[in-house]
Structure 1
């Protein structure tokens, strides 16, 4: 098994556990890393995923000869690969998550891949299906994920679950209450503070140490940086 396959499996299983047990929070998901290595999702896990699917959203029915597979992309080219594959007529799915980012000292909500460098592609394994050969040479694509000589197949239940949860996920905030932050510019540039919260106008409330006193202060959240 190739070394770069394992981090994806770790992320996928951690995300499944997270979604089914902690649907109201995004903090754990936004900090999923590639340090933990787990085995391929077992049939028992997939049965659990199927049982958690919403009864109000029926699963997408596809021909029996088609299935979802994993695709590894080039660094930061998930959307490039997605666009070029769809132009060729392939059905693809790139799970996204909404995250707050600082842009020109302002807070903006951006959509980023849930699994960096991975997307799902639906392929037909029958002789009448669309050829797989153009995939490897598609701009943005690295290669199909394989276990030995077999392309890594993903259960429909997992993809359906990801689609549902993607719609329910709240936007991940740049900071959490109690985070140590530093002011990036202005008269207090370089001073450290403790983040409290952000109002709807993206004004952050912070606690600043001044003259041995803790002083509350409002500042544009885009002017803050996380310490460390």
Structure 2
């Protein structure tokens, strides 16, 4: 019974967070109320407030939940896998689920992309995303420590590299011309990381 209750709570949290993201992308941050988010997710305003203190927190929760899922996936990878191979496998399994217009065979949807760009300029939301970034980076560092047995600098450095990679890929996805699928950019970034960021060949 407790397991079903926890599953329902997770599903409600995800539904509210995705509703907040969708509405903000479609309408703009200032044009979305928490009442709209609750209605979009099919729950009451009181239920929204049981999960989140603000619409910014609800939006940022997608990043928190996504990176937490990747960290949990890393913990479950076979022990013999090299660390960055395991990180790639965990990321590929979790990162792209439910992302509109981000399949391997097609570029991102232009309207969705424009909304994401606009969403990233909102100061209040940027603050919430910064808090989420700090929270999940610590969680990911602990997953690296649990997997490797390392303490101190190493887990924190891996977590910082990982989170910076996700942020950089997201920025490139938003600005690439012509547009490129997010998963292709992630593959390219991870290839560069696992080969030690070799210096590019000069253009001829």
Q: TM-score, normalised by structure 2?
A: 0.26
- Higher percent of residues as strand: 1
What TM-score do the two structures reach when normalised by structure 1?
A: 0.24
Q: Give the structure with higher Rg (CA).
A: 1
